[in-house]
Structure formats: C-alpha cells, structure tokens
A = this chain, B = another copy of it.
Amino acid sequence: MNDGPELAVLRLGHRPGRDERMTTHVGLTARALGADRVILPDNAGQSKETVKDITARFGGPFAVELSDSQKALVREWDGRVVHLTMYGERIQDVESEIREAHREDPFLVVVGGEKVPFGIYEHADWNVGVTNQPHSEVAGLAVFLDRLFEGRELEREWEDADQRVIPRETGKEVEPTDSE
C-alpha cells in the first residue's frame, strides 16, 4: 500500500477444483484490503490468472505469484510472520503490538487451508485468532487487514486501472479511467 514496509499474504495449501474459489477470494481480498502481494501454491494457476486479470482492470500495484516451496518461504522470510488460526491468541489482545511491529518490518501473513503443519505455528511470530471459532480464512484475513491498517486501506488510490466504480446510493456506475 506504499505507506510502510511490505505486507505479503501467503496462502498455504490448495486442492485444485475444491479450493479454487476460496484461494481466488484470498487473493482478491489481499489486494482489495491493502496487501502488496499474494503468494499462492504452484497448483493454483487458475486463481493467479483471476487475480491478475482483476488487477489489470481495476488497478494496482499488486503482485501475484506462485511458489512451490511455501514452507521454505515462511522459514526464510526476512521480517515478521503472522499465522491466522482459530487456535491463536485473540486479535484484540495482540493487534496493537502487531501494528507497532509492522511500522518497522515486512510482514508475511500466512492463511492456512486444511491441516497446517506444526512447524508453521512454531515459526510464526504470532499465531492470531480472529475469534477462536471456526469460520472462514477469507473472513479472518479481511478483519485482520482492516484492523492492522485501521481503515487506511479503504482510502487507497489505484494506479493503472482501466475502470473504476463510482460509489452510489442505488444501482451501478462504472467509468473508464484515463490512465496515460
């Protein structure tokens, strides 16, 4: 979002077919709510294309990548790692400490699919629960980003968009942008 150190979201695990839309929604939510980059498993090429297409039409900067070594990426991340999990510490208890740390350090936010390896829990600087209830990795990521950025992500400007939506009380309005 260009107002601090990088924030990348890593989607851990992807079952082609079954997880297609969830993985796509993780990528689109990361983009819309202020992350700089999303890293998807290397079998999630279809989700990558969707997120790239939306970025081309609605603007960036936002990067989407595939990786075949996600655990290594977590281990070798040069910065802080947050793992979102319903077993973690309550977001309301740790968010100010996390916000503080993000002023200095690049962040990797890990969003699990099924069965996250124990090493991820151990390696994370914070395991964070957006509630300790089972719900949705997309919902957890959304609330985490909105709280981390304290709403600044909603004011973000988009570059190189073909089109933009004009907020309206009723109906739909989309206008082409002149991005020369």
Contacts and interface: CB of A to CB of B under 8 A. Distances in A.
A18 B20 CA distance: 10
A15 B136 CA distance: 19
Nearest to A24: B136
SS class, residues of chain A in contact with chain B: mixed
A45 interface: no
Contacts of A90: 154, 167
A138 interface: yes
A101 interface: no
Interface string A131-147: 11111101111110011
Number of copies: 2
A118 to B, nearest CB: 7
Contacts of A33: 131, 135, 139, 143
B165 A25 contact: no
Given A32-B139, A135-B29, A138-B139, A118 B87 contact: no
Interface in A92-111: 92-93
Contacts of A166: 132
A79 interface: no
A164 B133 CA distance: 8
A169 B94 CA distance: 10
A25 B133 CA distance: 12
A54 B135 CA distance: 9
